[in-house]
Amino acid sequence: MIDLQVGPERVLVMAVQTDQYSPEQFQVILDEMTSLTETAGGQVIEVVTQKLPKLDGRTAVGSGKLEEIAALVEAREIDLVISLNALTPSMNRQLEASLKVQVIDRVQLILDIFAMRARSREGKLQVALAQYNYLLPRLYGQGKHLSRQGGGIGTRGPGETKLESDRRHIRSVIHHVKEELADIAAHRERTRSRRAQGGHWQVGLVGYTNAGKSTLLTQLTQSETYVQDQLFATLDPLTRRMPLKGEDRFTLTDTVGFIEELPTELIHAFKSTLEEIGGMDLLLHVVDASDPAQTLHEQTVLRIIKELGYGHLPVLTVYNKIDCLAPDQSVQATAFPSIAISAYEPSHIDRLKQEIWKLLMADADWVDQRIPAHEAYKVAGMRQELLVTKFDYDENTGDYHLQGYRRRQQDREEETH
């Protein structure tokens, strides 16, 4: 079959504001649906909302609203309906039977974007695992949509053949993917431990998707990485050396962007990637200071970090994109310690580096030690262990005098494990 569709898929977004959403939260997620849809290659033609205490058990929306959506699907030549609310497999089937077009929900939309963005072997495996777990209970009736050779939103990933296989085969694939991910996670843990044991301070970038983390990674490390004004532009954790004050004992790791109501399937699948956060000495929480939903985004990221078990880690909040603020706007800083910057302003990057240094050294152990001449063999080891700020040889006593900082690792590793 040849897909003759030209241009982006025409999408209708349906959303029910249940009692679990505040008006502000609902509006933010609803607005976000347009960006998510565009990132996946679709165009939002219509948005239909309804306010209900809870989702209709059969079709999520009420019967009258369903008729309204069906009429719009036909009149506006809609190719795809995306539900903001998570749909059960039975809801999905009922909606597709009523609307005569493919229906997916926000979870599947995000999984689809992750499938587009994954580049490394680990990233692709993690996305595949999340997709298999999500689609396993939804195998019934999927074949007709997945057989479109032209693909489309909600069809990327595992593919037609595997999804039409029996559940036993799918579970077997999930098992093998988990085993391979476990091997990769073990390798990642060994690498992380070597960095820590080598006296490297490890700094992690966290934040809401599209807050500017990858841009900051590039500017702080002077390295090339994928920087794009898109949701979930970076999936795979990238670790680069970040020289501070001429010292190279620092690394900076970019992580996947968070999002409100991050699908559970993704949190489980990306467990090893998210565990990178746990080994950090400092988290840079990057916030888009120009986003109207700044406060909600901040709260979302902090809540997820806490839920992952990393709420004890030191955090420096970086209010980014101040160059995008309107002339009459000012930075609404709600966290401490914090710094307001534009990632494209070199002087701001210098200030940020100074703040990172100050916070890391404040949490390090200060060492002031004299080594007698007959124990001179210890000097080399000390210089490897310490970030040396002073090194003298006293000709009168024959002592070596070292001063510097030692990464405080024992307490942190006990808390993380």
Q: Given this model, what pLDDT does residue 3 score?
A: 45
Beta strand pairing call for 315-320 and 42-51: unpaired
212 is in an annotated binding site: yes
235 is in an annotated binding site: yes
Q: Given this model, what pLDDT does residue 19 score?
A: 94
- At 149 the three-state DSSP class reads coil
Contacts of 155 (CB under 8 A, 6+ apart): 112, 145, 146, 148
Hey, what's the torsion of the CAs at 321, 322, 324, 330, to 10 degrees?
A: 140
Q: Given this model, what pLDDT does residue 395 score?
A: 86
Q: Identify the residue whose tokens are 């000097």.
A: 379
Taking the C-alpha atoms of residue 232 and residue 16, their distance in angstroms, rounded to an integer, is: 25
320 is in an annotated binding site: yes
254 is in an annotated binding site: yes
193 is in an annotated binding site: no
257 is in an annotated binding site: yes
User: Which runs of E-coded beta strand occur in 74-179?
Assistant: 80-83, 102-105
45 is in an annotated binding site: no
- At 354 the three-state DSSP class reads helix
What are the phi and psi torsion angles at 11 (to 5°)?
-115, 140
394 is in an annotated binding site: no
Give the residue ranges of the chain where pLDDT is below 70.
Answer: 1-6, 139-166, 192, 195-198, 224-237, 272-273, 409-417
85 is in an annotated binding site: no
Phi-psi region of 217 (alpha: psi -120 to 50; beta: other; left: phi over 0): alpha
256 is in an annotated binding site: yes
Q: Given this model, what pLDDT does residue 260 score?
A: 81
208 is in an annotated binding site: yes
Q: Given this model, what pLDDT does residue 210 score?
A: 86
pLDDT digits 0-9 by tens, 167-196? 777 788 888 888 888 887 787 777 767 766
**Domains in the chain, please, with CATH?**
10-114 (3.40.50.11060), 200-362 (3.40.50.300), 365-406 (no CATH)
269 is in an annotated binding site: no
Bridge partners (DSSP) listed for residue 402: 369, 391
42 is in an annotated binding site: no
Q: If we measure between CA atoms, which residue out of 110, 146, 102, 111 comes closest to residue 11?
A: 102
